[in-house]
Each structure stands twice: as structure tokens, then as C-alpha cells.
A and B are shown apart, each in its own frame.
Chain A
């Protein structure tokens, strides 16, 4: 029974990892661009919700709305004003710029919030559980976190495959040179992609704040989990990213069940195993 419980907890945790990964996957999918500061932006989202709700005493709903809007706008502007300038055939400049951004964000957060570990207390949400059948119960918070991940991934899938914006994002991903001949503005489309990814980063940051302790240096580890989830799931496949997150989460909780010290290692080993067996990930992009 404890093993089944571990797996269920792992699935819920996988939802958080999928949220970490979705923005990264989206930006890579559209621009072939890896944002090294991705994890740090998630941590920024966590600090923002903490500031709005705890320090400023705003209502949670207003706080969440403000985090999402702020990050989406910041993401759009960051792409439009800075990252578009370094995008090109050479993959090194964007990696260097976002690596620098990562260092700046971590030090900025350290300056403002100190190195103390923080967590957003959620009160009754943390102590309430949901009954799954006769034998199982999962915490309401992890359950909501997982359902958020499913909703976010579903929404991204909808935007990508059912809307004019998604059509333009896919076309720009396929052949950015020719899209301007159809009236598309690549700088704007790339910025919209980053804005959308940053919105998801905001959602991930809010759940990070509620789920676990975080500090200004927590970003790189989130980036690593996000990378692993994306690669296990297969690049460019949005639902694959959710499954990648779940596999990573389950590996970690099952590892922790064997020995508490094995949690992180088990996740990395699962990632390594997938890389060895299927280097393209379990569910690589299929053209429809």
C-alpha cells in the first residue's frame, strides 16, 4: 500500500514538474531557444505571490492575477527588447544572455528577500484531503496542483491547435523566414510565445510557493527538473511534457520510499534511463 501511495504522490508531484516544463517546452518548440533563466523566473513568480498576498495583504485571487499579468507582460517585453536581438543561427548568444539573466535574478532576489527559505502558508488547503475510492486519500493541495497542470497543458494544446495565434506559432516554428511573406511579424510572434510561456511560469511559481520551501537560489534545480520532464516526454509534445513530469515525479517519490536520500537521485536515474533507451524521449512530436 505504501508503494501505491508513493506512486500517487509522485503523479501529483509530476503535475508541478509539468508546470515547470511547459513554458520551457513552448519556447523551445517555437524558437528553438533554451532559456537558462527559466527556473529563476519561476522563483520570481513564487516571491511575487508571497509579496502580494503576505506582505501587502492582497486577496489571493487579486495576487494570482497580478503575478500572471506581470510575468506575461515582462516575458513579452523581455523577448521583444532583448532576446530577439540574440536569436539567430548560433545557439550560444541566447544561452549566454539567459545565463547572465539567471545570475542577475538570483542576486537581485537575494538582495531584496535575503537568503532565508520561504513558503506560502495555505492554511486549511494543506490539511484537507480528497478521498479517491475507499482506500486512498490525497491532499487537496497536491490534487489541485495536478489538476492545474492538466488544465494548463490542455489550454496550451487548445491555443496551439485551435486558434489563429497557435497557427501562427506553429508556422513560425516551421519556417520563420517565410512567415513575413504571409504578413506575420516574427518579433511579435516570438514575444507572444514568451509571454504565453511566462504566464505558465507564473502559474508554476505560485504552485512552487505553496508546495515547498524556496529561496533565491532555487531556480537552477527547477530548470533541471523542467529539462528532464521535457526530454523524458519528448521535445515539442505538450501532453508528453505532462507524462514526462509524472514519470520524473513518480521516480522521485518511489526513490524516496526506498530511502529518503534517493529521491533526487532516482529522478535523475529515470531521466538517464530514458535518454539511453530513447534519446528522442518517450513521446516525440508527431506531425498531425
Chain B
């Protein structure tokens, strides 16, 4: 497998506050990788820095072999990196279908088109002309995922896609992950729900206070190791 994303020593600051301390990460082609960690661990900051929403000039972020640090977000997107933002952020004056079509503005070629998205999320077909924000939370999340897929990304970043949703709805949403993967799209999910992350990921990274506190495959990690890395329990021992 070839490396899709390679991040070395990534740092991020909000004024005097340092949010990330030298994070290293790789995602291989065809992989599903999960980042877990509690609130404030730096997960969303990490994704926002990758996508160009936060400044990254002078850092080391390679995507498909190309250095993307410092590029504007729209150019990074055109290279094949798409994100489902936290809180879904659908465009309120656009219908469901228009929200999906906006995702295809970059005109990248690939397997995803409107028909494929409706096959993946059949609930959206009947709602295609409704305003995106008039849908239930789960359906809105489907639109947000579909919108990102419409750009035919090589790597799909999902930021807290289970946040605020009922367990049944979370299950429905996560059922789409293997189908997305089957189309050749690699996935990087940021998730607070550890069991969901372990269920879908090939590898996980656990973040704590802006650092990678643990990494490995779900099978190779014990519950204790994850709890320690997630909450910092036993650090003093």
C-alpha cells in the first residue's frame, strides 16, 4: 500500500495556547483510520489544520506525495481531501440536492455522483428538494457526508459525525463507512465514541492534550491501554 497522508511533527497554536505538540500520522491508501480522544484533545484542530482551515505554513503535511501545508483550503480540496465538518454545517438556503451539488464544484472525476449518493442514503431521495436544514439530525449528517463524497475525494475526513445523534441513527450512519471504502475512498474519522471507532477502523490514534498518546490496530490494543491513553489514567504510576 502507498502512503496517502503523511503528517510529521504537526503543531498548532491559538494565540499563546498550544493545541498540538508534534503530531505524526500516516494514512495508507484504502485504509480507515480513527482518531479518538476526549474533548479538547486537539482532534478537530488536527483536521482543520490538514484541510487548510487553520494556518499550516512551514509544517510537514504530504498528501499523495505532495506537500500541502500552507495551501488554501480550496486547493487542498481539489487535490482530493474532503471533510465532513463538525456540526454538519449544511447551507441553509440550499436544498438537499443543491447541498450535494455544491460538493461537486471542484469537478474531480471518480465513482461518486448524485445517483450513488442516493443509493448510499436512500432516505434522502424523497427529501431532495427540501431545505437541507429542515431534515432530522441523522439525515442532515447523511447530506453532509454525501456533499463531501460528491467531490470524489481520495481521503474523506469525518469530524465527530455521531455527535448529537441517537444510537440507532449513529449505527445507520456508520453502516455507510464500509460502502464508502468499497468505492476506494480512504477514511479518517475523528470520534469520541470509542466503540464506534474501534468497530470501523483498521488503525486508531488516541489523542490526549495535543499529543498522540497511543496508536495501533483495534485488535492489538487492550481496553485498559485505551482507557489510559484516552483519560490519562495511570500516568502517574
Contact of A181 among B77, B98, B101, B131 (CB under 8 A): B77
Tell whether, in the assembled complex, residue A183 and residue B72 are in contact, meaning their CB atoms are under 8 Å apart.
Answer: no
What is the interface of chain A mostly: helix, strand, loop, or mixed? helix
Among B52, B72, B98, contact of A167 (Cβ-Cβ < 8 Å): B98
Task: Contacts A174-B92, A183-B151 given; indicate if A288 touches B103 (C-beta within 8 A).
Answer: no
**Contact size range, B:** 20 to 34
B91 pairs with A180, CB closer than 8 A: no
Residue B83, interface by CB 8 Å: yes
Known interface pairs A171-B94, A287-B93. Does A183 touch B78 (Cβ–Cβ under 8 Å)? yes
**A residues within 8 A CB of B106?**
182-183
A170 touches B74 (CB 8 A): no
Complex contacts, A173 vs chain B, CB 8 Å: 93
Query: Known contacts A180-B53, A181-B83: does B93 contact A168 (CB below 8 Å)?
Result: no
Pair A174/B93 contact, Cβ less than 8 Å = yes
Contact partner of B82 (CB less than 8 A), chosen from A174, A179, A181, is A181
Q: Are B91 and A170 in contact, CB atoms less than 8 angstroms apart? A: yes
Complex formed: what's the CA distance from A171 to B89 in Å?
11
A231 smallest CB distance to B (angstroms): 20
Which of A173, A174, A184 has the most chain B CB within a 10 Å cutoff?
A174
The answer to whether B93 touches A288 (Cβ under 8 A) is: yes
Closest to B101 in A: A167
A182-B105, A184-B102 given. 16 additional CB < 8 A pairs? A167-B101, A167-B102, A170-B91, A170-B93, A171-B93, A175-B89, A175-B91, A180-B73, A181-B77, A181-B83, A181-B148, A182-B77, A182-B106, A182-B147, A183-B74, A287-B93
- Residues of B bordering A, CB below 8 Å: 51-53, 72-74, 77-78, 82-83, 85, 89, 91-95, 98, 101-103, 105-106, 131, 147-148, 151
